[in-house]
Chains A and B, each alone.
Chain A
Amino acid sequence: MYGQAKEHDHDHDHPDFLGHHWESPTQQFEAGKFGMWLFLTTEVLLFGGLFCAYTVWRSNHPELFRYGSQFLDTFWGATNTAVLLISSMTMAMAVTYAARGKTKAVIICLLLTLMGAAGFMAIKYVEYNHKFHEGFYPGLAFYEEPNASHLWQPLDETAVAHLAHDKTMDMDESNLLHAEALVRAELPEAPAEAVTWNKAVAGPGPGGLTTSHEQEQLAEFTAFLPEAFLGDNEDIAGELEFADGHAPGEAPHMAHPLQDPVRPVNAQKFFTIYFMMTGLHGIHVVLGGFMIIWLLYRTIRGEFSREYYTPIDLGGLYWHVVDLIWIFLFPLFYLI
């Protein structure tokens, strides 16, 4: 029973796949499964910290989450949910076929699962790319100059004087953007050394638009900006707080150096937690993809049989948990 492992490696009761310290394949299988469940517990706890942060932030700033979530594309989110659910199904099928010893079916199912993982990441790439294009970066970069628009150029002293002088404009809900667009349009080319937009000097706006050139500039500027910046979303317009406490639709008086006059205070928090949670989940999907490739390699080499398919079974467990986490992420960010 406790003989040297080397001598027992090729006994019929101690097959190749059985580690030298195990008595039977069943013992090894059950231990592997137990270990995997423990590992998945730690994964759930790892995400648990982020779900906890989400809860704290959301209960502190519900309006920021309602504001931010409208920029997420529910269509792509739902598509990704479907992709992951289907890949979970093909993974489960792979496990079932492995238990029956049908190697070809296992390979097909694993390939389909791998395609699901790749498809999920492709869609995530599209979504992330879109967010970055709109300037929705996590953290402080959120407030830096979006590269999408040449209109976001540094203010110089002339512009500041202009802003301070002309306060006659009648305030409609989009006059802030009028002001912005107007100032931008009147500005000369930005000096090379002035690299950051000085947010601290955005003051009360100037008068209405006069020339068609300015209207064109405004159209371009507002086309770049998401809807809610125009204050169309009545539901949250009353709750959002802007720098220095101005209401949506009013011009800001003075912006905090870190805060954008046209985006609500701390709006970056929603995108931060969005990128943190979906990003960590994405890393898990990528790792899952490598795991599936490894399982495919071992399946094609014929290492698995009806008697031994533990890695496929455990890989399936991991994949279902990655899927399950997304099932929680999707409604938390896209739907509510």
Chain B
Amino acid sequence: MSTTDTPNMTGPAPVPDNYLTYSRGIWSWLFTLDHKRIGLMYLMSVLGSFFIGGIMALLVRTQLLVPEGLIMDQDQYNQVFTLHGAIMVFLVIIPSVPAALGNFVLPIMLGAKDVAFPRLNLFSYWLWMTGALMFVLALFTGGLDTGWTFYTPYSIDTGSAMGGVIPALTGAFVLGFSSIFTGMNFIVTIHRLRPPGMTWFRMPLFLWAIYGTAIIQVLATPVLGITLALLVVERAFGIGIFNPALGGDPVLYQHFFWFYSHPAVYIMILPGMGIISDLIAVHSHRHIFGYSFIAWSSISIAIFSFLVWGHHMFTSGQSELVSVVFSLITFSVAIPSAVKVFNWLATMYKGTISWNTPMLYGMGFIFIFTIGGLTGLHLGTLGTDIHLHDTYFVVAHFHYVMMGSALIAFIGGIHHWWPKMTGRMYNENWGRIAFSLVFIGFNLTFFSQFMLGSQGMPRRYGTYPADAGFQFYHVLSTAGSYILAIGFFITAGYLIQSLLGGRRAPSNPWGGRSLEWQCTSPPPHDNFSEAPAVGDCYDFSVLRWDENEQGYVWRDDVAHPGSEDVS
């Protein structure tokens, strides 16, 4: 990446030796052990997958413009929605915040020079690449039309399900191990690499969220691994574990699958909540409200996540008692989630809110996540779930949580840490315009799907009856998806433009107090040239705006806490 200066750039001079210029050449990136470079490679790979998955989504929406389907036949439609789901879940959302942003930010926030096991970190990235290639291979071995959940017995029926099932399963298996190794790395890093003064309850809330996520990654993903392995063997050899024709039990597959995949939902949303906790506090310039409540709610969500998988199977024939218990525990997840939302609102209350793009995404998250969370209660209720199961209501619900919350938080996080990662500022006005399009487009796309679902439109169908009154909402939804796409293309445009001609970023453009804002933008290879000063990372009163720096600096009349905290 070029660091040559051009006259129209203002702000501080670039750091002569940063992690981007530390060494040169493609190999110095592909085999780097630097967590920042690995994080950046993850970011590019994840965004590339996001683009492909997004194109699939647009194809799905375009198909549904007219009742008989506009552009595809049924087999193609099945493939497109399956790939959209599988790519977005396994290749985009799960690695987005932990592997891409987490890898970059976590060690710096913590005050460490790297993650605990840098080689394992690189290995995990290459596992991710291998898994992604397996998905591509699935396309060339007959395609994939099972839906991202690979439900049996359809997925093991070699006669009907397409031929790409085994490569796709293997890909998901490999991606799972990539995720496990990332989680292991983060847990050990947080336990063993905190510098003096960085106590557990001085950690930024993003780290608490990543810690909770890592616990789920380590404890749930191996079960997915063995489930997918069993499914591969079932399809290849006919062992009769999930196939009812051979005395197997397809509901056992659902239990195994959701034992991982429900916790995986929290692998997706928890880091997003962590980002939002930091965004809201930093851009409101106000101390986070209820720090320990937010921290513990992350851990309790991680624990609850293991106890609710049965709510995916209310209509699959599990016992009524089990359903009642799962329904009850599902409701209790609402408590730690609501604790977070109320604390964010209380943080903003009487804060000095900067209307920066990351803050807009933060507030958008709160709005969308609240809708997504509350509609989850409809689905957790046994009676209404019978009506809403496998309709567009479910589709809308999990898009509000997965896309509108997890991905919106991810994009907010990208904007928040973009100056730190690249050393450049993006155009704030274009950021606000793009956010407006994303926010409006998203709600238009998916709120109309709540309507569709409550009126009975089933999910995963490429056509629908012309006289059922569905088309109006489908057209609204498709229009919304186009607006959403325009918003994302604008985002991509101004972010790329910022790399080429953006203003140089100061160390602390937003006024954050966590340690990453104490090192230069972009950070040096070893993160800190001197020991960082660890203090209360949400006490913003010690910072002031500096016009020369175009960023926040330490107030001259306040003592630096570093000397007393670092022994």
Contact = CB atoms under 8 A, between A and B. Distances in A.
Given A49-B230, A53-B241, A276-B233, A42 B218 contact: yes
A45 B223 contact: yes
B530 A141 contact: no
Interface stretch (B184-192, B345-353, B415-423): B184-192
A31 interface: yes
B230 to A, nearest CB: 7
A169 interface: no
B516 interface: no
Contact of A21 (B193, B218, B229): B193
A336 interface: no
Interface string B508-534: 000000000000000001111111000
A272 B240 CA distance: 9
A48 B223 contact: yes
A49 B237 contact: no
Interface string A3-28: 11100000000000001110000010
B372 interface: no
B239 A276 contact: yes
Interface string A123-160: 00000000000000011110000000000000000000
A258 B225 contact: no
B526 A4 contact: yes
A52 B229 CA distance: 14
Contacts of A30: 192
Contacts of A138: 233, 237, 239
A43 interface: yes
Interface in B99-115: 112-114
B390 interface: no
B530 A2 contact: yes
Interface string A218-240: 00000000000000000000000
A108 interface: no
B249 A38 contact: no
Interface string B90-131: 000000000000000000000011101110100000000000
A265 B233 CA distance: 20
A34 B218 contact: no
A175 to B, nearest CB: 27
A139 B531 contact: no
A46 interface: yes
Given A49-B256, A266-B247, A2 B531 contact: yes
Given A49-B256, A266-B247, A139 B239 contact: yes
B227 interface: yes
Contact of B531 (A1, A47, A141): A1
B222 interface: yes
Contacts of A19: 114, 118
Contact of B219 (A4, A41, A140): A41
A2 B526 contact: yes
B225 A46 contact: yes
A172 B252 CA distance: 41
A115 B240 CA distance: 36
B255 to A, nearest CB: 9
Contacts of B184: 35, 38-39, 42
Interface string A200-218: 0000000000000000000
A140 B237 contact: yes
A113 B90 CA distance: 39
Nearest to B214: A38
A268 B245 CA distance: 13
B180 A35 contact: no
A78 interface: no
Contact of B113 (A2, A46, A265): A2
A300 interface: no
A21 B249 CA distance: 49
Given A46-B222, A269-B240, A53 B193 contact: no
A31 B238 contact: no
Interface in A44-69: 45-50, 52-53, 56-57, 61
B558 interface: no
Given A31-B116, A49-B227, A272 B221 contact: no
B209 to A, nearest CB: 19
B533 to A, nearest CB: 12
Nearest to A27: B192
A33 to B, nearest CB: 9
A31 B223 contact: no
Interface residues of A, number: 41
A43 B222 contact: yes
Contact of B193 (A31, A39, A46, A61): A31
Contacts of B247: 61, 265-266, 269
A49 B222 contact: yes
A130 to B, nearest CB: 20
Contacts of A39: 184
A64 B247 CA distance: 12
Contact of B226 (A21, A49, A56): A49
B227 A269 contact: no
B216 to A, nearest CB: 12
A62 to B, nearest CB: 14
A17 to B, nearest CB: 14
A258 B113 CA distance: 60
Nearest to B215: A38
Contacts of B256: 49, 52
Most buried by B among A5, A49, A265: A49
A42 B188 contact: no
Contacts of A139: 233, 236-240
Contacts of A61: 247
Contacts of A2: 113, 526-531
A48 B225 CA distance: 11
Given A140-B237, A272-B239, A48 B222 contact: yes
Contact of B192 (A4, A31, A141): A31
Contacts of A140: 237-238, 246
Contacts of A35: 116-117, 120, 184-185, 188
A121 to B, nearest CB: 20
B156 to A, nearest CB: 11
A268 B233 CA distance: 13
A1 B114 CA distance: 14
Interface string B243-263: 001110100100010000000
Contacts of A41: 218-219
A266 B528 contact: no
Nearest to A256: B245
Given A56-B252, A140-B238, A49 B218 contact: no
A21 B114 contact: yes
A49 B227 CA distance: 7
A38 B186 CA distance: 11
Nearest to A269: B240
A272 B534 CA distance: 56
Contacts of A272: 233, 237, 239-241
16 contacts: A4-B525, A21-B193, A31-B188, A31-B191, A35-B188, A38-B187, A38-B218, A41-B218, A42-B219, A46-B223, A49-B226, A138-B237, A266-B246, A269-B247, A272-B237, A272-B241
Interface of B: 112-114, 116-118, 120, 180, 184-185, 187-188, 191-193, 218-219, 221-223, 225-227, 229-230, 233, 236-241, 245-247, 249, 252, 256, 525-531
Given A42-B218, A49-B230, 6 more contacts: A4-B525, A31-B188, A53-B230, A53-B241, A139-B237, A139-B240
Of all A-B residue pairs in the complex, the 6 with the closest CB atoms, nearest first, are A139-B237, A49-B226, A140-B238, A45-B222, A21-B113, A31-B192
